[in-house]
Structure 1
């Protein structure tokens, strides 16, 4: 009699626990979905036009970055199990050392520049930017750990002697690399080169890069407008030197070297185009990058400036490929 009475009770307890677990899982998913939507969509509540370089412009692009932060934790990412072919494709890409080291350098450079800024709101936004770059490094480190990818010993990450130079190199470098990363990740998902689950796991990282370049191009425009007229020519020359450095760097990457003879400062997209986009013509790849760039920027306040240089160069290249 007692066993008969106990069985329904145990069944009821198991059912209650299952329902509770389902509720917790549903709440967790809803929280993740809400954070993901907030990261991709933001509009400043104050209406009206915004003058580039104004205090309102500064407040807007800083709040965009701060208020769209996604609080995911790399340590709890559930890396999907890969079948043997997918695992081989992932582990065979010769970019993981470079990717981890690039994010390590970026976080140090951004934080070094943040330390020179006295305006509280701008400093907070820059610190958020640097913290997210550091988190990207952790994400990549967790990925290589999960899939058994061996990394070379990491160098010591030191702030540059010219912290403004380091910040400009990081910002404009991300403008180039993120534009191609948008298209490459879309191509990887469409082609099945990476499993869709793995691409989706990386989605927060890729969208964060979109936020970073949106923040950077607005900072660059705001900063230049607020420089005294006599400092603008030197600053413009410095930006031109940064672009020349980045172009030279990427020529070196294409050859597999850098200024020291080793390809050690490249971002993921610049080293993986041939692997991930074999099925696309150059024109189709450019069109995909442009479409993805527009899609990823579409959710943010239209009064904020968008990156223009790389998309303009891409459209020019597309015309030449006709």
Structure 2
């Protein structure tokens, strides 16, 4: 398989290139380098690299590709809210345009990195793909709009698949600490304090970033009829946690750190526990390699090896929002 991966130098994309190449596939990577200099460890290189804005991809760029794996995006709620219009331009409009170009170029499969955040303020627990969507942010809305528009392109020759990914965490060569698990562990190492900004009650489905990459590979290799034009929650039922559970896991790894509920964000309306039965029904051989405990143990070990501390926690390198604020002129 020849895979075209957008955002291949990102937090998940750096794993995806490695996962694809280890499975014997060739990779064309497309990345504008927006977070250049944010790397933590060396990246596995694709077979071919395009330094190109996803809004400028043309059919010729996709020649001979068997799948587009579209990760590139303004990548979470706070960054999306920084400039909602740019979020919609890139996360929605460019994603729809790319799907149309992929179809035009004869690429048979289009895998889109969606998000479980589309459930937003869940009306009930254990939300499945058929439950009402309740997006609370520009980021989540952009994901839904893309699903709706791209779904209309599906036909016998073009298979879109929408991966509604759980909240990512864990070690990556392109580390991020602006994610709840990584942030709480980083806070413990930087300050000796596990700073939970809510009351700790909201539910989140969690998944290691490498397991998201593995899910992309599984969806690309799956029989067409199993995944054709489906939105699929990506995670595991056992990997739903309340934020306070994450804090307790951090304290297990850093016993000297104390848990503090700062309450600075008030009552977090984003509260969703998600059901993943469909994923395992469609892909019965797929399993996550990590659970929260093993993923956090690995990340803790890596942080200690790298000497992660207050300077890293307060700097720009591992916080995408801070870097993005400095580089927004590249996106306009």
Larger RCO (CA under 8 A, 6+ residues apart): 1
The structure whose residues are more often strand, as a share, is 2
Question: Larger radius of gyration, structure 1 or 2?
Answer: 1
TM-score normalised by L of structure 2: 0.28
TM-score normalised by L of structure 1: 0.29
The structure whose residues are more often helix, as a share, is 1
